[in-house]
Structure 1
Amino acid sequence: MHTMWKGSISFGLVNIPIKLHAATENKDIKLRQLHKECQSPIEYKKRCPVCEREVERDEIVKAYEYAKNKFVVLDDEDLKALKKEQEDKAVEILDFVKLEEIDPIYFENSYFISPNDGGSKAYGLLRQALEDTGKIGIAKIIIRSKEQLAIVRVYENTLLMETIHFPDEVRNVQDVPNVPENTELSKKELTTAISLIDQLTAEFDPDKYQDEYRTALMELIEAKRNNEEITTAKVKPKQANVTDLMEALEKSLESTKGNKKKTTKRKTVSKTKKKTS
């Protein structure tokens, strides 16, 4: 399993060298966009609308737009120094809480935690302590240049870190439009709804749920592929440095004939003038 982050996690005076591994993967089927006429992939280029030309990577800088068309430019050196300063800090567990106290709206990405060299005993200690207390840890970590709030919990005998949103990243529910305050419901309607919920209640089995759209899309792709309903992108023709020899000769010959006719005409006119004079 690919290691995406190395560092350490601590609680109190206990320090655990760890590695993070992505616990989930995105299995969305990525579809490319082709030019309908020639079936070639569409290119997306970075272009400056003022200079009216494509810009190279080394010509691009990062900036924060604090007002319309007004920016604060941030140098790469500034960002690297800030990132290094934060990454050098160990992941410290700040508090221990109960999992049910955190609403699922806060959860973001999941990462498996494995012990790095020399960290197995401390890893086992934290895992056992969390299991015995029924608590989870609240910590902070820098991942991909962004400070993240995270929880540390036990998942099937493995420590798991889940990044969670900061409170100001969760939008105010009061801003949701058209939510009714109170709805008048008859006792029969409510009883029927509760009965339906009871009938559909079951233990959660993740294997029961599949991405039916993704499966159907892959079946469609494979069917087209097996029936050879495929296309190959056209290769952009290279500009030849050498002009077709026969074409060049023919054009040269025509040009020479034209020049010869003009020269003959001039000589004829010149002779006629001499005779007249």
Structure 2
Amino acid sequence: MHTMWKGSISFGLVHIPIKLYAATEDKDIKMRSLHKECHTPIKYEKVCPSCGKELAADDIVKGYEYEPGKYVIIEDEELENLKAEQNKSVEIIDFVKLDEIDPVYFNKSYFVGPNEHGEKPYMLLKNAIEQSGKIGLAKITIRSKEQLAAVRAYKNALILETIHYPDEVRQVNQVPGVPEDIELNEKEMETAVQLIEQLSTTFEPEKYTDDYRSKLMELIQAKIAGNEGTVAQEAPERNVVDLMEALQASIDKSKPTKTEAEAEAETPKKKKAPRKKKATG
């Protein structure tokens, strides 16, 4: 498992060296966009829609659109100055009950493993969290972004889950069409609750699968087995000389044509040879 962050967990005066590992992975089946005719993968190039130029990384700056079509430019140096010092510590601020945090706040999960010489304090924190029935609320900086996080016991280890800030969670009252006061029949309520009870079971995550992904993978494997695979054509290398010739030809073609009078005026006139004098006898 790949280590994606190294640092420490601190609570009080206790510091625990740790490593973070991504607890989840994207299982979506990735597909490339190909040219229908030759099945070559398509390249997506950054082109300015105004002047039609293909842009290099140095040609691009960051801008914030404060009004439609109006931007303020933010330089990379200005962003660097705003970034907090890269703190390699998960600082636990508070301990709270897990059921006090609505699942809408949770974002991404990371397994927490002890780093060198951190095994004993690691297990101390894990067991203490379990016995207290609480989780640790912490701050952590990952990829230059400071985030809230919950540190809790998970099976025989610790897990860290990043949490959205309150202003990142939209207000439910902004959802259109949600009814406010509707009278419900008591009998209907009893029937609905009874149905829920009948369908209730113990959560067993392994019994839930992505049916669409499974069927898509079966289709892909069937096509491979049926020799329906295709080989993309290699993109030809661009010839610099040919490219320069094409650019020059484009420039020449775009020049305005001259009238015959203008061409004749620019053509240097040949000097007439002096006439020889006839000899007198």
How far the C-alpha of 1:173 sits from its partner, in A, is 0.5
Query: Could you tell me how far 1:146 is from its partner in structure 2?
Result: 1.4
1:38-61 alpha-carbon deviations (Å, 9 max, x no partner): 222222111112332110112222
Q: Per-residue displacement from partner, 1:106-135 (whole Å, max 9, x unpaired)?
A: 000000111112222221221121011111
The alpha carbon displacement at 1:207 in A equals 0.7
* Counterpart residue number, 1:247: none
- Give the distance between the partners of 1:142 and 1:157, measured in 2 at CA: 25
1:232 equivalent in alignment to 2:234: no
Deviation at 1:151, TM superposition (A): 0.4
**Cα 1:117–1:240 shift into 2, 3 Å:** closer
Structure 2: gaps of 5 or more residues: 242-281
Is this contact kept in 2: 1:113–1:161, CA < 8 A? yes
Map of 2:28 onto structure 1 = 28
Task: Please identify, of 40-49 and 180-189, the stretch whose mean Cα deviation from structure 2 is larger.
Answer: 180-189
* Runs of 4+, deviation exceeding 4 Å: 238-242
- What does 1:1-277 align with in structure 2 at a 5 Å threshold? 1-83=1-83, 85-88=84-87, 90-238=89-237
Query: Would the aligned equivalents of 2:138 and 2:150 in 1 still touch at CA under 8 Å?
Result: yes
Residue 95 of structure 1: how far off its partner (Å): 0.4
- Partner Cα distance (1:237, 1:137) in 2: 57
User: For 1:133 and 1:239, how far apart are their aligned partners in 2?
Assistant: 66
For normalisation by structure 2, the TM-score amounts to 0.80
Greater Cα offset, 44-53 or 195-204? 44-53
AA aligned opposite 1:5: W
Deviation at 1:63, TM superposition (A): 2.8
How far apart, CA to CA, are the structure 2 residues paired with 1:176 and 1:18? 41
- Describe the shift of the 1:105–1:238 C-alpha distance in structure 2 as closer, same or farther (beyond 3 A): closer
Return the offset for 1:89.
5.5
Greater CA deviation, 58-67 or 175-184? 58-67
Name the SS for the 2:44 alignment partner.
Answer: coil
Secondary structure of the equivalent of 1:54? Answer: coil
Q: 1:160 & 1:27 partners in 2: Cα distance?
A: 21
Post-superposition offset of 1:28 = 0.4
- For the residue of structure 1 that corresponds to 2:85, the secondary structure is helix
Tell me the percent identity: 61
**CA deviation digits over 1:218-260, x for unaligned, max 9?**
0000001111112222223456899xxxxxxxxxxxxxxxxxx
- Taking the aligned partners of 1:66 and 1:143, their CA distance within structure 2 comes to 27
Report if the CA contact (8 A) 2:91-2:139 is conserved.
Answer: yes
The Cα offsets for residues 61-88 of structure 1, whole Å up to 9 and x where unpaired, read as 22322333333333333434544x4323
What one-letter code is carried by the residue in structure 2 that aligns with 1:13?
L
**Per-residue deviation, 1:34:** 1.4
Larger displacement relative to structure 2 (66-75 or 21-30): 66-75
Compared CA separation, residues 122 and 81, structure 1 to 2 (3 A)? farther
Change (3 A) 1:125 1:227: same
Residue in 2 aligned with 1:252? none
Indicate the SS of the match to 2:3. coil
| Aligned match of 2:278 | none
What SS does the aligned partner of 1:4 have?
strand
Q: What CA distance in whole angstroms lies between the structure 1 residues aligned with 2:87 and 2:82?
A: 10
Unaligned runs of 5+ in 1: 243-277
